[in-house]
Chains A and B, each alone.
Chain A
Amino acid sequence: MKTYNGRRFFLKTSERVCHGLLALLLTVVLGYGCETLDSVTSLGKTFAVQSGVVTDSQAQSIIESGKAVAKTFEDFTPEQEYYIGRTVGAMVLSRYEPYRNKRANIYLNVLGQTLARASDLPETFGGYHFLIQDSDEINAFAAPGGLIFVTRGMLRCCTTEDSVAAVLAHEIGHVQHKHGLQAIKKSRITSALTTIGAEGAKQLGGENLARITQTFENAISDITQTLINNGYSRSFEAQADAAAIMIMERAGYEPNALMAMLHVMKGKLKPGGIDFAKTHPSPERRITWIRKRIGQFKSVKPHTIRQSRFSNALGGI
């Protein structure tokens, strides 16, 4: 009898514990479910209305609310950054002809795309792509979104694959930090995103299309002026050098190669030149701040295979 009572007590207790746990679990699962349901309802509501236009007064209220207006360059989506970058790239290409050497360009892309994967921004809307430009000027440009251009003159400052990696990693640094987008005047950003707020319809039309295209042209001009004529601030260049060192270390390249490249560049840059001499801090200044990060320059023996593929691809540059 005692045993029976004990078993009954055990069963009853187990039943109660089970009920308690069931209630707890149901609360948690249903609570989670409710949250999901809310987002599903919201999604459904959004997808339910896919057509129609915003009236003038609605557009005005969007503009006045200020919520549709971007506050900074960071409010551009990666897709918009991509379209800005494409046009900046086309502008750079209108100044310098491409170097039509398939082997050299393939090498640069395999190297550059490997480095990009070691950056803090390995994925962009359209990806990273690299092109050599047929010019003796010492120059390199990074368009927003990851289109990167390097002149033959710049590649001639590189005596090893590690030095080419340094040049490309510096340009990837500009992309990673969105320095190109930051060259756009704030008024253009406000104007662009105000127009987006007023769009409403599926396709831009007439006046709005003309307005946003004008803003686009102005934004492109802001970036190309900075890239080609004025150069970035010293702090942006120092940031790009710091990013280059980080990327090189992550990928297994010798960061001293950045200083090695700058030493060669120092001997080749002509005072008053319209290339890097105009748009970048002097190689000496850059070497000073790089030395603070990685110590004194050390000459490192090049890796055999890297040196061999570098010579094969860029030996005749």
Chain B
Amino acid sequence: MRKLKIDVFVFFLIFLTGAVAFAVVHKMMSVQVKNGQIRTSPTFLSKIVARVSYGDQVGVSEEKGEWFKVAVTGSRKAGWMHSTSLSPKRIVLKPGAEDVRQAADSDEIALAGKGFSQQVENEFRQRNPNIDFTWVDKMEKMTATQAQIQKFVKDGGLFLEGGGI
């Protein structure tokens, strides 16, 4: 009888652990944008609860249309991200020789800072001092806040569906 109780207990323990494991780690993905945003629900009109950076790894537990429910590895950040901000590849931020070798053999690894990169832009700018990047840098700072977009959508009788949801 005692043995049965232990078995039942172990059974439920393993069942629960398994269920949690499957719920949390459906698949791993990497943030492929410079500034990633995690939201409370799968829509661009929902609140941003956390921010993630290029190369951060997230575990996907659920998919809803073009949105993934994610949890950031090694942190308590969790919520929804749009699929276009994530890559199934593992992004290596400071790739060494071995990473380059591995990337050559695999479609599952992407190398950050390789190819057309900041270093190449710097070299291009040295060669072409007449090309001015001042306004490109200014443009990149022109970003509407979440509150501005919410108000703009609401006041204008707009909505966001399809790709955004």
Contact = CB atoms under 8 A, between A and B. Distances in A.
B149 A212 contact: no
A29 interface: yes
Given A51-B97, A213-B123, A305-B155, A80 B115 contact: yes
A98 B101 CA distance: 44
B74 interface: no
A110 B33 contact: no
Specify the main secondary structure of chain A where it touches its partner: helix
Contact of B142 (A106, A193, A202, A246): A106
A70 B134 CA distance: 32
B136 A253 contact: no
Contacts, number: 255
B124 A68 contact: no
Interface stretch (A119-127, A257-265, A275-283, A284-292): A119-127
A164 to B, nearest CB: 12
A36 B94 contact: no
A204 B104 contact: no
A93 B132 contact: yes
A101 to B, nearest CB: 12
B117 to A, nearest CB: 6
B153 interface: yes
Given A43-B90, A49-B97, A91-B131, A29 B21 contact: yes
A130 interface: yes
Contacts of B158: 114, 251-253
Nearest to B113: A79
Contacts of A131: 135, 139, 142
Given A77-B32, A83-B116, A246-B162, A111 B157 contact: no
A222 to B, nearest CB: 13
A6 interface: no
A129 B135 CA distance: 11
B136 A89 contact: yes
A147 interface: yes
B85 A123 contact: yes
Contact of B140 (A62, A129, A200): A129
Contact of B152 (A114, A220, A246): A114
B5 to A, nearest CB: 10
10 cross-chain pairs, A with B, having the tightest CB-CB distances, nearest first: A49-B98, A250-B162, A252-B158, A123-B85, A50-B96, A18-B7, A68-B104, A123-B84, A117-B44, A80-B116
Interface of B: 1, 3-4, 7-8, 10-11, 14-15, 17-18, 21-22, 25, 28, 32-36, 44, 54, 82, 84-85, 87, 90, 92, 94-105, 109-121, 123-124, 127-128, 130-133, 135-136, 138-140, 142-144, 148-149, 152-153, 155-164
